[in-house]
Amino acid sequence: MTPPEFLQPGPTDHNPLGLDYRAPMPRPKIQGKVIDLHCHLLAARYAPAWFAAADHYGIHAFATMGPLEEAVRLQRDWPGRLHFITVPKFWDPPADFFEDWMRRLEAFYNLGSRIVKFHMAPGTMAARNIRFDSPQLRPLFKEAVARKMILMSHVGDPELWYQTHYTDTKTYGTRDDHYRMWADVLAEYTPHVPWLGAHLGGNPEDLPRLQGLLDRFPNLWLDTSATRWIVREVSKRREEAREFVIRNQDRLIFGSDQLSLDNRDFDFFASRFWALRKLWETAHVGPVNIVDPDLPADQQPTLRGLALPDEVLQKLYRDNALKLMSKVGAGFEP
C-alpha cells in the first residue's frame, strides 16, 4: 500500500510535509501572554529547545507535569513561566507509592503547585490497579481539597484505542463505566474545588457527552491538550466542534500535551504548536503535519481549522487559565 504523496517527502514523523517550522507566524491575536495549561517538561536540559519553540509560536507560560526532582532548577531558570502540576512517581514507582505521592503533594505545594493530577486512563488503571474509587486515593483527595487545589484528571482515551487496545473489557472496563466513575467523583468534589478534565475530557469524539458533563457540573473545566488526537477528532467534526467551543468558551483552556524526551528538538515542539495554532486560529484545510500512528498511511487525517473569533481565542489562550488558577490563589508571576 503506497502512502499518499504528501507523506513521502517528509524526513520525520513530525514533519512529513517538509514545513519550515522556523518561518515567521503572526502572534496570536490576544491581549497578554498565551498560557499552555497542560504539558510535560520533564527536565531542565530540555528547556532551551522547548522555550525557543514556544517563543517562536507566541506561547509564554506552561503548567507542567514532571519529576519533583527537576522542579527547583526549572523554577529558578525560567521564573514566571512554569506552574508545577503535582504528580506521583509513575516511572520506577516506590514500594510505598501512595505514601510517596502524599509526600510529593506537600513538596509540590510548597513550590507553589495548586493543581494535582490523577491519571485514570484505562491502561493506567489496569497496570497500577488503581481507580477513582480506590480507598488509597481518599487521603490524597482529602488533602488536595483541604489545600484548595484544582483536581485534574485524565479519563478515557481515543475511541480508536477502545476499538483496538482496550477490547478486553474484563481487564480495561468500558468507556461508559469510566465516565460513570468520573461523574461520581465530580459530584463529590466539584462543590468544593474546581476540576480540570484533560484532553477535552478524554472524549472529543462525543461532544454531547462532554456537554452533559459541563451542564451537570458547573465547576468542571476542560483543557484542549493532546495534539494528534485533538486535531484529528476536532477536524473530523469541524462544525460541531466549533459550535461546542463557542458555546463553552468560558470553560475551555488551551493545552498542548507537549512531552520532552531526548530525541525531541525545536522542530518536534514546533510541530505541535504549528498544528494547534492552525486548528484554533485559522480556516486552514490541509493534511496534518504530524504522522498519526493510529491510522494507516493512506488514511492520514486532514486538519480543518475552526477560525475561532478573537474574543473566544482570548479566553481559550489566556483568560480562562488565569480565571481558573485565581480560584486557588495561583498565577504565573515570578
Burial of residue 95 (CB within 10 Å: 0-12, 13-18, 19+) is exposed
The mean pLDDT value of the chain amounts to 94
Residue 324 C-alpha cell reads as 481558573
Residue 176 C-alpha cell reads as 461508559
> pLDDT by residue (tens digit) across 264-295?
999 999 999 999 999 999 999 999 999 999 99
Residue 92 has a pLDDT of: 80
> pLDDT by residue (tens digit) across 193-219?
999 999 999 999 999 999 999 999 999
Residue 12 has a pLDDT of: 63
**Can you give the residue ranges of every domain in the chain?**
5-10+33-326
| pLDDT of 110 strictly over 80 | yes
The span from the CA of 124 to the CA of 60, in Å, is 31
In which residue are the cell numbers 519553540 written? 53
User: Is 51 in contact with 266 (CB distance < 8 Å)?
Assistant: no
> pLDDT by residue (tens digit) across 133-154?
999 999 999 999 999 999 999 9
Average pLDDT over residues 177-181: 97
Average pLDDT over residues 310-334: 94
Q: Using CA of residue 290, residue 291, residue 297, residue 299, what is the dihedral sign? A: negative
Using a pLDDT cut of 90, give the percent of the chain over it.
91
| pLDDT of 117 strictly over 50 | yes
Domain 5-10+33-326, CATH homologous superfamily name and number: Metal-dependent hydrolases (3.20.20.140)
Nearest to 40 by CA among 272, 211, 320: 272
| pLDDT of 230 strictly over 80 | yes
> pLDDT by residue (tens digit) across 3-60?
333 333 334 699 999 999 999 999 888 999 999 999 999 999 999 999 999 999 999 9
* Kind of pairing between the strands at 302-304 and 285-287: antiparallel
